[in-house]
């Protein structure tokens, strides 16, 4: 690895950081979205940006619709074969708890059928009157808030800063790269020139 390789890796890392920040920004209105965190590390291969899921809880927003569910604490809803924290659910035509695309929400032991008087408790237990209709598979300690949604975990200002920082970092690396190239230009073309 010489200086040029280092700077090229820095430009690639800045590119990845920009992609992460723009992906986060794009999802500033996606309920239940957890921001992707980008971390820079100095490795023998140069500067490398790697992504990981941020675990921070998004804000809880009251909606008043009883089938909107927000998770407080870790865990996810299982809808079809995807896991999500977006708890904007409805009742489907057969009375089952489902998302807006019609995929049923999995409880422990199958989909959950709701009666007109269904209540979803903070422990994730769904009761039709006094009868237990199902239970959401949640880690211990996680509670469910009915009538609320978890807003996107993205802070638009922070991500805009990340965008600008990535842009400047890329610029710095590019300038340095060009400076190294000019030095080599001198070494190769001027120092060795015979008058």
Partner 1 sequence: MYAAASGMAAQQTNLEVIADNLANADVAGFKQVAASFIDVNAGGTLGLGTASSGKHPIFSQGKLEHSGGPFDVAIDGNGFFRVERAGTHAYTRNGEFSRAADGSLRNADGWALRDLRIPADARSVHVAADGRVTIDGDAGPNRSIGRLRLATFAAPEALRPLGGTVFAATYESGPEHRIDPGQGGPTIAFGMLERSNVSIVESMMQILTAQRAYEANAKGVQAADEMQRIANNLNRG
Comparison of 20 and 76: residue with beta carbon closer to partner 1 = 20
Across-strand partners of 83? 78
Which of the stretches 118-126, 128-136, 167-175, 186-194 binds partner 1 when contact is defined by CB under 8 A? 167-175
Which of the stretches 13-21, 73-81, 104-112, 131-139 binds partner 1 when contact is defined by CB under 8 A? 13-21
For the record, the structure tokens of 46 come out as 């140069």
What is the x/- site pattern for partner 1, positions 23-42, by CB under 8 A?
x-xxxxxxx-x--x------
61 sits near partner 1 (criterion: CB under 8 A): no
Number of residues that bind partner 1 (CB under 8 A): 51
Is 35 within 8 Å of 54 (Cβ atoms)? yes
86 sits near partner 1 (criterion: CB under 8 A): yes
Q: What is the C-alpha to C-alpha distance for residues 123 and 37, in angstroms, rounded to an integer? A: 30
Q: Is 188 left (phi over 0), alpha (psi -120 to 50) or beta?
A: alpha
* Cα→Cα distances 120→31, 56, 89, Å: 19, 24, 12
For the record, the structure tokens of 164 come out as 């600008």
- Binding residues for partner 1, rule: CB under 8 A, are 11, 14-16, 18-23, 25-31, 33, 36, 51-53, 64-65, 84, 86, 88, 90-95, 100-102, 156-157, 159-160, 163-164, 166-167, 170-171, 174, 177-178, 181-182
């Amino acid at each position: 690895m010489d200086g040029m390789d280092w700077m090229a890796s820095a430009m690639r890392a800045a590119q990845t950081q920009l992609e992460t920040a723009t992906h986060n920004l794009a999802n500033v209105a996606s309920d239940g979205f957890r921001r992707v965190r980008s971390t820079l590390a100095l490795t023998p291969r140069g500067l490398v940006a790697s992504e990981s899921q941020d675990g921070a809880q998004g804000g809880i927003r009251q909606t008043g619709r009883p089938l909107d569910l927000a998770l407080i604490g870790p865990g996810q809803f299982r809808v079809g074969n995807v896991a999500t924290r977006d708890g904007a659910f409805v009742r489907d035509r057969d009375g089952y708890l489902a998302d807006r695309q019609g995929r049923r929400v999995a409880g422990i032991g199958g989909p959950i059928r709701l009666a007109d008087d269904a209540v979803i408790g903070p422990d994730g237990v769904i009761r039709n009157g006094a009868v237990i209709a199902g239970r959401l598979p949640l880690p211990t300690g996680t509670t469910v808030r009915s009538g609320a949604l978890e807003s996107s975990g993205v802070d638009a200002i922070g991500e805009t800063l990340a965008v600008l920082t990535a842009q400047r970092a890329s610029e710095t690396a590019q300038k340095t790269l060009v400076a190294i190239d000019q030095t080599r230009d001198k070494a190769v073309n001027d120092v060795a020139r015979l008058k």
